[in-house]
Structure 1
Amino acid sequence: MEPGGRISVIGGGIAGLASAALLARDGYRVTVLEKQADVGGRAGSWERDGFRFDTGPSWYLMPEVFDHFFRLLGTSAEQLDLSVLDPGYRVFFEGGGPAVDLRRERRLNEELFESLEPGAGARLSAYLDSAEETYGLAKKYFLYTSFASFRPLLTREVLRGAPKLGRLLLESLDTWAGRFVTDPRLRQILGYPAVFLGSAPKLAPSMYHLMSHLDLDDGVLYPQGGFTRIIGAIRALAEDHGVRIVTGAEVDGILTERAGTRARAFGVSYRDGGGGSHVLAADAVVSAADLHHTETALLPRELQSYPERYWRRRVPGPGAMLLMLGVDGRLPELAHHSLMFTADWDANFAAIFGQPTRVPDPASVYVCRPSATDPSVAPAGQENLFVLVPVPADPALGGGGIDGGGDPRVEEVADRVIAQIARWAGIPDLANRIRVRRTVGPADFARDFNSWQGGVLGPAHTLRQSAFLRGSNKSRKVDGLFYAGGSTIPGIGLPMCLISAEILLKRVRGDLTTAALPEPLPASSGAGLR
């Protein structure tokens, strides 16, 4: 497909907006169709009574990925007004004992590990050296490739590292961490990044120990104004390059026709907010929607590269129950990011990923207090709390609501988790100080984002669902149909979605290189056409 062609993008989350911006920069005429009334997808926003909540991602990691994406488009991530968090996060452990802070400086984290287990400081240093080396190799060869060809991977550097890579793929993150530390608290700190990957420490390959380099070496940042600031910046870039964004447009079909012995995508059909039906013709279609929904709901059975039987053999990432709480008074007991780990770590993950599934009780939970860093997210003297409770990916668990108006099971879990936070963090009057409350459950994710089994992230990063074994970004059966986002390569998270957009551009270009593209992308003379 030559630049100047028309491309329809399904979904206005970060992957859809980023894909649209890069394709428009390359000279294509791009239209984004978003089901909701606003863009952002899971990275949305909700406001009430002076509180503004990010409704999804809240950890800013891999800053160089954001920097690179903005530089591709001729600008800078400096516009995001980033603050460095120190501590990066605080960890509470079931059973009492002091909470621990993970700091911005690696030396301080080594001292913390040493204080909890003699000798662990030096072993953390070795662990992080390995994590940094693995991350560098991943960036150079695996994160930015479409895996359309394996020939570019047959380099001396990759072949020399093959034995270690093979071990890192076949051994679990939990086992790998256990080679370096034995204290259960330290193993949890090194194992928890699996949750960011929609997985569990015993399911995620140890290759993902590279994640510890990101938070314990690189540190954790925060964009003032919240994560909607990132979405707003990428939307503005897309529109500056001529992308047309249509909200309230729910795509109900990818239009295909026979072209010789192959099928070809020539557009999409969608419904507007008033129920009217429309057809948008295109030379190619990019779906940044959930891959399961795209394949099983928007294509006829005979053109599905990933039919329902494929998904029956796959492991979904966890679902989530979310709590958005506006609280009177200050909460210094909590850091900007706080993690609460249960003592029976294995039972917690077995409840989510095992059979039969159940909601863990007590649960390992994540609490974000952005008002610790950002005065714009809560009225003066009050706090904004965002709480994520990993649960099984199961829409039958129900949906949430405002002021206790969600499904009974969701509200019951919310009450229980609020009481847990109060006990563990030493805030006995927390429940009585809540002035704003909203809950979200797996049924909401299924309804609002067409997410597979109501999951919050996408397919879990297990061995069979990582790297080239994850969903491809191009249909095998329909020419001109591409995919982007967390359910395809390279995987879950905002940085991965930005990389996914870049890999998409490579795939459209027929570019088989493995490294990130040179900065900036040349601005095509066709960019900005509609």
Structure 2
Amino acid sequence: MRGEGGTRRIVVIGGGIAGLATAALLARDGHSVDLVEARDAFGGRAGTWEQDGFRFDTGPSWYLMPDVFERFFGLLGTSAAAELDLRQLDPAYRVFFEPDSGPSGGTGSPPAPPSAAHAERDPIDISAQTATNVERFEAVEPGAGRALERYLASARDTYDVALRRFLYTSFTSISPFLHADVVRRAHRLVPLLLGSLERFVARRFREPRLRQILGYPAVFLGSSPDRAPSLYHLMSAMDLTGGVLYPQGGFGHLMDVLVRLARENGVRLHAHTAATEILTETDRGHRGRGRGRRARTTGVRVRDQTPGGGSERVLPADVLVSTADLHHSETTLLPRELQTYPESWWDRRTSGPGGVLVMLGVRGSLPELAHHSLFFTRDWPANFAAIAGGTVPDPASAYVCRPSATDASVAPAGHENLFILVPVPADPGLGHGGTDGGGDPAIESIAEAAIEQVSQWAGVPDLTERIVVRRTVGPADFAEDLGAWRGGILGPAHTLAQSAFFRAGNASKRVAGLYYAGAGTLPGIGLPMCLISAELVQQRLREALR
């Protein structure tokens, strides 16, 4: 199976962003690459759904860390500018706050001054311009403008060192920790890793709304401000200093670009092809019965998923890269004795949240909403505690995307496209979604509450009457359609024990030639992280073939 000149026959499992990116990079290195995807379309969590002229992105919708995208495209001989029509969003996003007053603002802080009683019900726009955000913070809390400048300076410095030393490494040695710029910052980086984002923010800002804005990035990481390390304040260097971008055509178009680039670099793409078993043989190089590799990859067994299909075949391979959900890859595709991360390992891990997705086609315009809008409840600790404890928050914080504010192609003329995400427990038992209110009762009830929340908080009293298309998705859909661990929408949460070098590794310890990419492994959750995970596999394979 070994090709000439050091090339290998490689099979990549999973056609999401990590799979497409990994396959394209390895094919560009000269390897013979096949990619198998169980579903009929590529994109994974970054999928699309269309009905009656509306086109919805069913997953990621924030284009952050543009330097990571630029680096990835550069590895394939192109650029983001050549492949995407990126638009700057301003406001980057709008934040709505629960209108009812409460004793503490839900962040453990003292009550807001009486003079701010009316203002605290008004939304806050986060600008693409840093100076504007400094002014808005100052207007909400005297002194917060200067505090934000210091906060963002720390965020930028931390982001820069993370990008240079920690994100593009598989932590196979201690060298990332020995660089001079890391050593110089050790006195600051260690406390950032050990303390929570919630406390880090609270020491610098009193106003509950500002704390929520700065703590919200933890949700992007599948975590909460009280569990995410304060190191992740670096994420504010993205949305508060450089704004947020949007690729015209949506994130489905981004996936189309990756499919084309994979094919252009020689990848053979197989949709409707489900991996059912990772095949191995005894590794003759393994000695002893202790820990370590006991086998090496020989290929993958796949099943035809086309209607009326069901036949199985074997794709031989020197190297396998699974970008499917890591829990599924380990506990379903491998026998117990060859699992690096068996079920007992997952029992000790923390999942990110599940989610109820609500896709709405709405008649008329919705200027009350920005392209991205966040709806924050006052009692945040209760909101996050409910999710962690397995119950649906009431009321629940939510995220709303209105891509039709920027992209006319996602909705018919005279209509708007709305995508609502309500974080809920990662529990497939909550049920499935459906179209036109036909999902399971718990999912539809959550959707109804979210629609009413947007209607009331954003001042759109007739929102329900204007809905012409509706579809919901629940945790059971994520579990069944994507093999998502516990039905989560993101993957393992970025708690301290699941971040950086503590996160699951990207190479099997039991099977030689088996690698992993995607949100479950290094460096973590999010589209940019998945692109980095693809490059990490490319780096490891290059090192293995030297």
1:162 to 153, 164, 186: 186
SS at 1:187's partner residue? Answer: helix
Structure 1 equivalent of residue 252 of structure 2: 228
Give the Cα–Cα distance (whole angstroms) in 2 for the partners of residues 224 and 23 of structure 1.
Answer: 28
Indicate yes or no: 2:517 matched with 1:484: yes
1:398 to 2:431 alignment: yes
Shift of 1:3: 3.8
Q: What's 1:217 paired with?
A: 241
Alignment partner, residue 395 of structure 2:
362
Match of 2:325 in 1: 290
CA distance in 2 between partners of 1:361 and 1:431 (Å): 20
User: 1:160: how far off?
Assistant: 1.6
Residue 509 of structure 1 and its aligned partner are, at CA, apart by 1.3
Shift of 1:154: 1.0
Cα offsets for 1:224-265 (capped at 9, x unmatched):
000011111111111001000000111110001102123001
For the structure 1 residues 232 and 492, does the alpha-carbon distance in structure 2 shift closer, same or farther, using more than 3 Å as the test? same
CA distance in 2, matches of 1:153, 1:101: 38
In structure 1, the partner of 2:118 is: none
Which residue matches 1:266? 298
The answer on 1:506 being equivalent to 2:530 is: no
Question: What CA distance in whole angstroms lies between the structure 1 residues aligned with 2:267 and 2:180?
Answer: 41
Deviation at 1:211, TM superposition (A): 0.4
Residue in 2 that maps onto 1:331: 366
The reply to whether residue 303 of structure 1 matches residue 307 of structure 2 is no
Q: Which residue of 1 aligns with 2:97?
A: 93
Asked if the contact 1:8/1:282 (under 8 Å) is kept, the reply is yes
Counterpart amino acid of residue 372 in structure 1: A
Preserved contact between residue 433 and residue 443 of structure 2 (Cα < 8 Å): yes
Partner residue in 2 for 1:50: 53
Which structure has more relative contact order (CA 8 Å, sep 6+)? It is 1
CA deviation after TM superposition for structure 1 residue 152, in Å:
4.2
Distance in 1 between the 2:499 and 2:283 partners?
A: 33
Equivalences for 1:40-79 in 2 at 5 Å? 40-78=43-81, 79=83
1:20 aligns with 2:52: no
- CA shift at 1:511, angstroms? 8.0
- CA deviation after TM superposition for structure 1 residue 344, in Å: 0.2
Alignment of 1:445-484 (within 5 A): 445-484=478-517
* Uncovered stretches (5+) of structure 2, i.e. residues with no partner: 101-120, 287-293
Inter-partner Cα distance in structure 2 for 1:350 and 1:259: 47
Q: What's the offset of the Cα at 1:151?
A: 2.6
Unpaired runs of 5+ residues, structure 1, are 513-530
> Residue 257 of structure 1 aligns with which residue?
281
1:149 maps onto 2:176 in alignment? no
Distance 1:116 1:494 in 2: 33
> Which residue identity does 2:249 align to in structure 1?
G
Task: String of CA shifts for 1:203-223, please: whole Å, max 9, x gaps.
Answer: 000000000000001110000
Q: Secondary structure at the residue paired with 2:99?
A: coil
Q: Does 1:81 align with 2:74?
A: no
Contact (CA 8 Å) 2:129, 2:241: kept in 1 or not?
A: yes
| Alignment partner, residue 131 of structure 2 | 107
- CA shift, 1:179, in A, is 1.6
Instruction: Tell me which residue corresponds to 1:434.
Output: 467
Taking the aligned partners of 1:297 and 1:172, their CA distance within structure 2 comes to: 34
**Take 1:5 and 1:270, find their aligned partners in 2: how far apart are those partners?**
19
For residues 153-197 of structure 1, give each alpha carbon's deviation from its aligned partner in whole angstroms, at most 9, with x where no partner exists: 312221121121110010000111112111000000000000000
CA distance in 1, matches of 2:145, 2:356: 35
CA distance in 1, matches of 2:510, 2:185: 35
* Percent identity of paired positions between Structure 1 and Structure 2: 62
Alignment match, 1:528: none
Structure 2 CA distance, aligned partners of 1:99 and 1:380?
28
Aligned residue type for 2:21: A
- 2:449 corresponds to which residue? 416
Please say if 1:37 is aligned against 2:40.
yes
SS of structure 2 residue aligned to 1:338: strand
Does 15-24 or 148-157 show the bigger shift? 148-157
Following superposition, the deviation at residue 463 of structure 1 comes to 0.2
Amino acid at match of 2:303: R
Within the candidate set 269, 290, 296, 1:245 is matched to 269
Do the aligned residues in 2 keep the contact of 1:486 with 1:492 (CA within 8 Å)? yes
Change (3 A) 1:3 1:368: farther
Deviation string for 1:343-396 (max 9, x for gaps)?
00000000111x3x1011110000000000000000111000000000000000
Letter in 2 for 1:203: R
Q: CA deviation at 1:317?
A: 0.3
Contact 1:3 1:26 in 2 (8 A): no
Contact 1:446 1:452 in 2 (8 A): yes
How far, CA to CA, are the matches of 2:536 and 2:174 in structure 1? 15
- AA matched with 1:373: T
- Supply the RMSD in Å over aligned alpha carbons: 1.1
Please give the secondary structure, in 2, of the residue aligned with 1:265. strand
Tell me if 1:444 matches 2:477: yes
| Larger CA deviation: 155-164 vs 97-106 | 155-164
Partners of 2:225 and 2:61 in 1: CA distance: 21
1:406 match: secondary structure: coil
Partner of 2:352: 317
Aligned: 1:343 with 2:378: yes
Aligned-partner Cα distance in 1 for 2:79–2:419: 28
Counterpart secondary structure, 1:84: strand
Partners in 1 of 2:460 and 2:544 — Cα distance?
55
Higher mean displacement: 258-267 or 428-437? 258-267
Could you tell me whether the CA contact under 8 Å between 2:354 and 2:426 is conserved in 1? yes
CA deviation digits over 1:4-48, x for unaligned, max 9? 210000000000000000000111110000011010000000000
The 8 Å contact of residues 94 and 341 in structure 1, kept in 2 or not, is answered as yes
- Amino acid aligned to 2:35: V
State how far apart, in whole Å, the 1-side matches of 2:261 and 2:193 are.
Answer: 37
Segment of structure 1 superposing worse, 455-464 or 162-171: 162-171
Identify which of 309, 314, 327 aligns with 1:279: 314
Conserved? CA contact 1:321–1:442, under 8 Å: yes
> Cα 1:339–1:3, aligned 2, differ >3 Å: closer, same or farther?
farther
Cα distance between partner residues in 2 of 1:73 and 1:481 = 23
Gap change, CA 1:329 and 1:278, over 3 Å in 2: same
Q: Does 1:179 align with 2:203?
A: yes
| TM-score using structure 1 length | 0.95
**CA drift at 1:148:** 1.0
Q: Which letter maps to 1:95?
A: P
The yes-or-no answer on 1:381 pairing with 2:384 is no
CA distance in 2, matches of 1:272, 1:304: 25
Amino acid at match of 2:459: G
Question: Which residue of the partner structure matches residue 110 of structure 2?
Answer: none
